[in-house]
Amino acid sequence: MNEGGWGMKWKSVTIGQIAVQDRTVIPPDSLEASARPYLGLEQIESQTGTILSYDSDSVEGKSTTFAFDVNHVLYGKLRPYLNKVALPQNSGRCSTEIIPLLPIDVDREFLAFLLKRDEIVQAAMLDKTGSRMPRADMNALLAFEVRVPVSLNHQRLIAAHLKSQLTTLEQARTAAQLQLTELINLANAIIRQSVEHPDTAPAKLGDVLDEVKKGVGKTWAEYPVLGATRAGLALAKDPVGKIPERYKPVLHGTVFYNPMRIMIGSIAMVDEFDTPGITSPDYVALRGKEGLVDSRWFYYWLRSPYGVSCIASLARGAVRERMLFNRLAEGSIELPSYTVQVTAAKALAELKPMRSAIEKQLAEINLLPGKILAKAFNS
């Protein structure tokens, strides 16, 4: 036992000394199951622990579940890096991927904040089981040693302080997310106005796009390897022993995507402000035919509801459809004149710096909870 920040006396304990697993089973067809609202892991927001909703009609909720009430802290053991730690405000039942923990001589809110620390997340991942869908080893987690204030009042003081700080931070995150949503809506509105222009005419994508083929020799050897994510353009891991001629050059105005992940928006473009590069031979890379399609406009169209709808129709319901160029070429597009496309693309490009600034702000905000928790527990 020693004295830490704020003049508090702290003690070292294992998590298992201040929290016990309460796996009270509720059979799926029991009266109690019908009386308690069901909570699935997907209904707990990552990082914040906010309970978004309850779903008693869930298929998963028809199986065995655990009981919980307002005395528990709910800990999501599946994919612990998502940091799903919740404080329920009513009684219910939850997926067995959520472990109800009962605090022992520790403030409930303090325990929840303690479990959200990056140090605890790393400990949960250290002894995880499973690779694709890792689960925390609860016995190893409960054996992990932490420091807590001796006094319950001091624990409550820290919890109240953290709650205030994180609430303010969440308000800032919500405001930034709203700004980002408004920008995306504005971009979609610009696309909508262009495709609703009087001179719009239907066309097949295969008739107005050209596929970019592989590179030539060592010309591309020193170019960075680029990838496509939901957020757009990103640097990809430079593969060991890459063979440049197998990669595809992505110069200014090239749109490219991962054919296995296009359904979730992994699409990118190299514009005039980006460094050209090469991309995986497995990717699809394309450019608009000169005078017919402005590649910048097409990139935004592809990520808009119009493009999403087109891709969904071409996937034909397959879960992991490979959207190669020959499949994309079958799609139809309401194509405005080249002049209208260029004008719309210019307006869309002006939104990019604002979007980048907001995304950077959101990334910085998302790092702050971990820093705030670390500071509070290490003081």
pLDDT digits (tens, 9 = 90+) for 48-99: 999 999 987 776 768 899 999 999 999 999 999 999 999 999 999 999 999 9
- CATH class entry, domain 201-335: alpha beta
The count of C-alpha atoms lying within 13 angstroms of the C-alpha of 117, restricted to the half-sphere facing its C-beta, is 23
pLDDT at 240: 64
What is the percent of the chain where pLDDT is above 90? 64
2-150 shares its CATH topology with 201-335: yes
In tens, the pLDDT along 28-41 reads: 889 999 999 999 99
Domain boundaries, the chain: 2-150, 152-196+339-379, 201-335
- Cβ neighbours of 156 (radius 10 Å): 15
Q: Are 85 and 121 in contact (CB under 8 A)?
A: no
> What distances in angstroms separate CA 84 from CA 125, 165, 170, 368, one per listed residue?
13, 19, 16, 17
Q: How far apart are CA 89 and CA 37, in angstroms?
A: 12
Q: Please state, rounded to an integer, the average pLDDT across all residues of the chain.
A: 89
Burial of 171 (0-12, 13-18, 19+ CB in 10 A): exposed
DSSP reduced 3-state for 46? coil
Which among 176, 158, 166, 164 has a CA at the least distance from the CA of 372?
Answer: 166
Bin 105: left if φ > 0, else alpha if -120 < ψ < 50, else beta.
left
Domain 2-150 falls under CATH 3.40.50.2000: no
The model carries a pTM of 0.74
Q: Which residue has the tokens 């400990």?
A: 123
